[in-house]
Amino acid sequence: MAEIIDQSEIMFQEFEPLTQNRFIMYIEGIPSFLIKTVASPSFSNNVTVLDHINVQRKLKGKTTWNSVAINIYSAISPSAAQAAMEWFRLSHESVTGRDGYSDFYKKDVTVKGLGPTGDVVQEWTLKGAFIADGNFGDYDWTSDAPLEIALTLEYDYAILSF
């Protein structure tokens, strides 16, 4: 018996792609308008190999969520550097050497992809995010480019709501 093909599967359908420049990122303590770039969440599945005589069978092992890089404009007011350092200080206080409890420094971070009219069409939530690496930029007498703060966030897992 011949399979019937649905025309919607082969004909062009109108679509609106997500664009890189339409997003809002929410991090408690850091104003959203200062966030310049953010990488989308990504993961890796480790592979477990089961050996049996002359063959191997591969199974999915543990899933690892990869770090997310963000760049923030280093504004004078409100101070983006101060906001990033306040979050970092929840995990480690430089002056005293005290480390904080994970309940204090881990935050849920949200990235919302926007449609052409500003409606939210995609939402990622990074659960248990914290600053793993921070770079507060380079000063340069020959450049008038805005100073940027580069942060690397680690997180427990991500949820794509829609």
Q: Where are the domains of the chain?
A: 17-160
Closest by CA to 131, choosing from 150, 113, 149, 154, is 154
Q: Counting Cβ atoms within 10 Å, is residue 65 exposed (0-12), middle (13-18) or buried (19+)?
A: middle
Write the pLDDT tens digit of every residue in 109-126.
999 999 999 999 999 999
Q: Which CATH number fits domain 17-160: 1.10.150, 2.60.40, 2.30.110, 1.10.443?
A: 2.30.110
> What is the residue-averaged pLDDT of the chain?
93
Compute CA 45 distance to the chain's CA centroid, rounded to the nearest angstrom. 18
pLDDT at residue number 54: 94
Q: Which residue has the tokens 């680690």?
A: 154
Query: Which pTM was predicted?
Result: 0.85
Write the pLDDT tens digit of every residue in 34-68.
999 999 999 999 999 999 999 999 999 999 999 99
If one compares 10 and 141, the residue with the highest pLDDT of the two is 141
In contact, 113 and 18? CB cutoff 8 Å: yes
**Does residue 33 sit in helix, strand or coil?**
helix
